[in-house]
Amino acid sequence: MTGQAAARPHVSHPVEALSGSARVPGDKSISHRALIFGALATGTTRVTGLLEGEDVLRTGAAMRALGAEVERGADGDWTIRGRGVGGLGEPADILDLGNSGTGARLIAGVLATHPITTFVTGDASLRRRPMGRVKVPLEQMGARFITRAGDRLPMAVIGAANPLPIEYRLPVASAQVKSAILLAGLVAPGRTTVIEPEATRDHTENLLRHFGATVTVAPDGKGGRIVSVTGEAELAGRDVVVPTDPSSAAFLAVAAAALPGSDLTLQGVGINPLRAGLYQTLREMGADLRFDNRRIEGGEPVADIVIRGARLKGVEVPAERAPSMIDEYPVLAVAAACAEGRTVMAGIQEMRVKESDRIAAVAAGLAANGIDYAETPDSLTVQGRGGRPRGGGKVVTHMDHRIAMSFLMLGLLAERAVTVDDVGMIDTSFPGFVGLMNRLGARIEVAA
Ligand code: S3P
């Protein structure tokens, strides 16, 4: 089971360049949503390009436990036969969402307005993460929650038989919380509204519309958005084409961008502007990176990202960019370690409640590899050397896939090899990562 297998330390050796062409796995956010919305629809949903990572498979298993039919076809496409909005049934056992905050929080939204009682848990990392952020608004809609201290998993969700629509201002910019409320709102009578202080990824809004729900989005005049869904909705099964994940492509993009001599093409990557902050930041750092062959696939903008190695310089990343690259700061810190000068990442306090405390985990990884940094509760500053950072350190991943992949990238870029204590969690979001990297010129192997 996730996180309970023996640790698998790997070492990543310095290399000169990455080259070739690759297609990274499907988008994690969209994959979770495709399975959940398919389960809430009537009729059949067919999903092409689903991420078959552990996190998404857990969501698929949860939808099955709630009564949907979820199957993988021989061609790799997934088929979901849903139960209709409000039609899911009480699961006979605990739902275990593994490592996935997205799975746990979005599904909490679904459970909150079904008249069933469900028990939800996850692995040691997920059981440390806060669920109060979904519990508070979902209780306003009529659900009841029983959680461990600090609103942690395991928790019981007693869904509302007569849910109420709400208007809710998000205290933190979180697409997960926004999505949980909108999903709960599908069953409530009337309109459920979420006001987000800063625009966060809009896959829920886009896909809900694709499935036939009425969703409106308006600016709040202060940089945020007012998002409403009309309840007592009917969703109809649809075909969904999942673009490849910009958050997964980020690891390859950073390594290629910072290795002079690299020439890498990443095919069909999602470039939704609410996800693309890292790519903008890399360009500001002087990366030679372009979006070719821009097109719309499955309702999302995608492009082939072409990256050539270059010398990078430090930049200040504005706080308001954080929601569009929240999962990419760990690997940006690696790029920053190679850049000339200082990179300041502000307004990143949400990183502290991800699969690990990512500010602390990145800071410890930088320290172990001789890289200068400064940490505050909500920021990280990295002092680059304008060339290969020292490296040679051993990094603790804290059950966090993105910490593991980021520091494997550091090993390619550093003077000396970097060891990562466990790569097992990478399968949650990027199955086949080590093999793919090695095909493109990396030298990552099991530690001796
Ligand atoms: C996600 C939203 C983000 C992100 C996570 C996936 C989503 O979390 O970190 O990996 O699919 O909605 P928050 O919205 O809580 O910041």
Question: How does pLDDT run across 65-79, given as a tens digit for each residue?
Answer: 999 999 999 999 999
Whether the per-residue pLDDT at 4 is higher than 90: the answer is: no
**Do 38 and 111 lie in a common domain?**
yes
* Residue 224 within a domain: yes
The Cβ-side half-sphere exposure at 268, using a 13 Å CA radius, reads: 14
Give pLDDT, residue 308. 98
Q: Which has the higher per-residue pLDDT, 223 or 64?
A: 64
Same domain, yes or no, for 338 and 229?
no
pLDDT tens profile 275-298: 999 999 999 999 999 999 999 988
Q: Is the pLDDT of residue 410 over 90?
A: yes
Q: Does 5 map to a domain?
A: no
For residue 310 and ligand 1, the question of a CB distance below 6 A is answered with no
Å from CA of 105 to ligand 1 middle:
10
Cβ–ligand 1 distance for 428 under 6 Å, the answer no
Which structure tokens are listed for 306? 């072409």
What pLDDT score was predicted for residue 7? 87
Domain shared by 158 and 291, yes or no: no
- The tens digit of pLDDT for each residue in 162-204 reads 999 999 999 999 999 999 999 999 999 999 999 999 999 999 9
Residue 314 lies in a domain: yes
Domain count, the chain: 2
pTM above 0.95, yes or no: yes
On whether both 268 and 384 belong to a single domain, the answer is yes
* pLDDT for residue 346: 98
Which of 241, 262, 294 represents a domain boundary (last residue)?
241
Q: Are residues 147 and 256 in the same domain?
A: no
Determine the pLDDT at residue 1: 41
Strands 239-241, 263-270: pairing is: unpaired
Place 3 in a pLDDT band, splitting at 50, 70 and 90.
very low
- Are 15 and 39 found together in one domain? no
Mean pLDDT of the chain: 97
Averaged pLDDT for residues 354-370: 98
Does residue 184 form part of some domain? yes
Asked if residue 205 has its Cβ within 6 Å of ligand 1, the reply is no
Q: What is the pLDDT of residue 298?
A: 82
Say whether both 192 and 251 belong to one domain: no
The answer to whether the CB of 182 is under 6 A from ligand 1 is no
16: Cα separation from own chain's centroid: 29
Q: Which domain holds residue 21?
A: 10-26+244-446
Q: Is the CB–ligand 1 distance for residue 328 below 6 Å?
A: no
Give the pLDDT mean for 414-426. Answer: 98
Asked if residues 333 and 342 have their Cβ atoms less than 8 Å apart, the reply is no
Distance 201 CA to ligand 1 centre (A): 8
Q: Binning pLDDT at 50, 70 and 90, where does residue 5 land?
A: low
Whether 33 and 22 share a structural domain: no
What confidence tier does 39 reach under pLDDT thresholds 50, 70, 90? Answer: very high
* Shared-domain flag, residues 202 and 281: no
Q: Are residues 18 and 120 in the same domain?
A: no
Has residue 256 got a pLDDT over 60? yes
Answer whether 141 contacts ligand 1 (Cβ < 6 A).
no
Query: 399 and 99 in contact (C-beta within 8 Å)?
Result: yes
Ligand 1 center from residue 175 Cα (angstroms): 6
**Tokens at residue 303, please?**
């492009």
Does 4 reside within a domain?
A: no
Confidence of residue 388 (pLDDT cuts 50, 70, 90): very high
Which CATH number goes with the domain that contains 136? Answer: 3.65.10.10
What confidence score (pLDDT) does residue 2 get?
Answer: 42
User: In this structure, is residue 359 part of a structural domain?
Assistant: yes
At 204-232, the pLDDT tens digits run 999 999 999 999 999 999 989 999 999 99
Q: What percent of the chain has pLDDT over 70?
A: 99
- The answer, yes or no, to whether any atom of ligand 1 lies below 6 A from the CB of 327, is yes
Q: Indicate which atom in ligand 1 lies nearest the CA of residue 353.
A: 15
22 & 32 share domain: no
266 occurs within a structural domain: yes
Query: Where does a domain end: 177, 207, 241?
Result: 241
Q: Are residues 125 and 146 in the same domain?
A: yes
Closest ligand 1 atom to Cα of 133: 15
Nearest atom in ligand 1 to 326's CA: 9
Write the residue with the smallest CA distance to atom 9 of ligand 1. Answer: 327
CB distance 339 to 312 below 8 Å: yes
**pLDDT for the residue 6:** 80
Mind listing the pLDDT tens digit for each residue in 299-347? 899 999 999 999 999 999 999 999 999 999 999 999 999 999 999 999 9
Which atom, in ligand 1's list, is nearest to the CA of 204? 12
Q: Is 36 in the pocket of ligand 1 (CB under 6 A)?
A: no
Mutation test residue for ligand 1: of 51, 102, 177, the one with most atoms within 8 Å of CB? 102
Last residue of a domain, one of 241, 270, 293: 241
- Is the minimum distance from the CB of 31 to ligand 1 under 6 angstroms? no
Bond prior to 154 in cis (omega within 30° of 0) = yes
Which residues are identified as catalytic?
Answer: 327
Instruction: Report the nearest-CA residue for atom 10 of ligand 1.
Output: 327
**Per residue, what are the HEC states of the chain?**
CCCCCCCCCEEECCCCCCEEEECCCECHHHHHHHHHHHHHCECEEEEECCCCCHHHHHHHHHHHHCCCEEEECCCCCEEEECCCCCCCCCCCCCEECCCCHHHHHHHHHHHHCCCCEEEEECCCCHHHCCCHHHHHHHHHCCCEEEEECCCEEEEEEECCCCCCCCEEECCCCCHHHHHHHHHHHCCCCCEEEEEECCCCCCHHHHHHHHCCCCEEEEECCCCCEEEEEECCCCCECCEEECCECHHHHHHHHHHHHHCCCCEEEEEEEECCCCCCHHHHHHHHCCCEEEEEEEEEECCEEEEEEEEECCCCECCEECHHHHHHHCCCHHHHHHHHHHCEEEEEEECCHHHHHCCCCHHHHHHHHHHHCCCEEEEECCEEEEEEECCCCCECCEECCCCCHHHHHHHHHHHHHCCECEEECCCHHHHHCCCCHHHHHHHCCCCEEECC
Judge whether 288 lies within some domain.
Answer: yes
Could you tell me which of 357, 361, 433 has the C-alpha nearest to residue 53?
A: 433
Which ligand 1 atom sits closest to the C-alpha of 201? 12
Q: Whose CA is nearest to atom 4 of ligand 1?
A: 327
Q: What is the pLDDT of residue 448?
A: 87
